[in-house]
Amino acid sequence: MIELYRLRKEVPSGAETLTILHSLDLSIPDGQFVSIVGPSGSGKSTLLGLIAGLDAPTAGEITIDGEAITTMDEDSLAALRGRKIGIVFQSFHLISSLTAYENVLVPMEIAGLGDAPERARRLLEDVDLTARAHHYPSQLSGGEQQRVSIARAFSNDPSILLADEPTGNLDSKNGRHVFDLMLKLNRQRGTTLILITHDHELAALADRRIALRDGRVVGDSSSSSEGETNETPDTDHANDDGGVAGDELLEAATAATAERQGRR
């Protein structure tokens, strides 16, 4: 469970103070798939960085499984991230001098995870990149690079996956593939998935959709009191009728997994 209590983030801006997040209260249960939408500059990345413990709030508290991360020192935070959190960024963040396999392997070796070579091989298989394992990032397409970064994010078997516009640099077909993979891992492993996206169709497939605007929650599909009536979509293709598509997606993901298991 991730809990945010009166979370606030301010930054100095010249002589003034800019408030990026205004006193946010949120509670995200284990295994939930939450999408976060909102216009550029609404505070989405800031929020994700705070949950990841990569940034410190000005006020308020975040607890992960009851542990207050906002009062932890850097070493404890790094240890917590290593145990529980995987992160995927829009721009992949792969190391260009390492192959796909090494990009997945090396962090596991640094973390001292046993059986790292075999785990790295299996993770690359999970993202359908076995044939590309020994290619360097520059030899891979954007979609393939993002799949490597997903394999890497899952190397510590995280209970929480944070993804900041992971499909933002991909065309719709590759974006969908990357999204399907994250959804599959969320369903199979019960991973809590917090996904920032500009794609309202993908966002609508989540268990819960949170809309931010100017650093405030202006819509939360799981909360009847807030509703989404005061939310204006920031793109013209907002389509919240994701129920059927969601089922189809899950079926497709399950079928793909069964097929792969059958091939073993």
Structure tokens at 15: 């002589």
Q: Are 38 and 26 in contact (CB under 8 A)?
A: no
Nearest to 48 by CA among 90, 106, 11: 90
42 forms part of the interface with ligand ADP (CB under 6 A): yes
Among ligand ADP, Mg ion, none, what binds residue 20 when CB lies within 5 to 8 Å by partner kind?
A: ligand ADP
Binding mask 44-73 for Mg ion (x = CB under 5 A): xx----------------------------
Cβ at position 67, least distance to ligand ADP in Å: 24
How near is the Cβ of 231 to ligand ADP at its closest, in Å? 14
User: Minimal distance in Å, beta carbon 50 to ligand ADP?
Assistant: 10
Instruction: Scan residues 9-48 and list those touching Mg ion (CB under 5 A).
Output: 44-45
| Residue with the two structure tokens 């077909």 | 173
Nearer to Mg ion, 43 or 219 (CB): 43
Question: Which CB sits closer to ligand ADP, 38 or 137?
Answer: 38
**The two structure tokens encoding residue 213:** 């605007």
Q: How far apart are CA 134 and CA 152, in angstroms?
A: 15
Single out the residue of 20, 133, 183, 195 in contact with ligand ADP (rule: CB under 6 A). 20
Select the residue interacting with ligand ADP from 44, 147, 200, 209 (CB under 6 A): 44
CA distance 96 to 112: 22
Surface-to-core class of residue 134, CB atoms within 10 Å of its CB (0-12 exposed, 13-18 middle, 19+ buried): exposed
> In 1-135, which ranges are E strands?
2-13, 16-28, 33-37, 59-64, 67-68, 85-89
User: How far apart, in whole angstroms, are the C-alpha atoms of residue 68 and residue 134?
Assistant: 40
As measured in angstroms, the least distance from the Cβ of 99 to ligand ADP is 31
Q: How far is the CB of 196 from ligand ADP (least distance, A)?
A: 7
- Mark the segment that binds ligand ADP (CB under 6 A) among 41-49, 59-67, 103-111, 125-133: 41-49
Residues 45-64 that bind ligand ADP (CB under 6 A): 45-46
Least distance (Å) between residue 103 CB and ligand ADP: 25
Q: Are 142 and 166 in contact (CB under 8 A)?
A: no
Out of Mg ion, ligand ADP, none, what residue 38 binds, judged by CB under 5 to 8 A for its kind, is ligand ADP
Check if the beta carbon of residue 136 is closer than 8 Å to that of residue 99: yes
Least distance from C-beta 192 to ligand ADP, angstroms? 20
Confirm if 113 and 155 have CB atoms less than 8 A apart: yes
Q: Which of 158, 188, 138, 186 is nearest to 148 (CA)?
A: 138
Report how far residue 226's alpha carbon sits from residue 171's, in angstroms, rounded to the nearest whole number: 33
Name the residues that contact ligand ADP, by CB under 6 A: 11, 18, 20, 38, 40-46
Name the residues that contact Mg ion, by CB under 5 A: 44-45
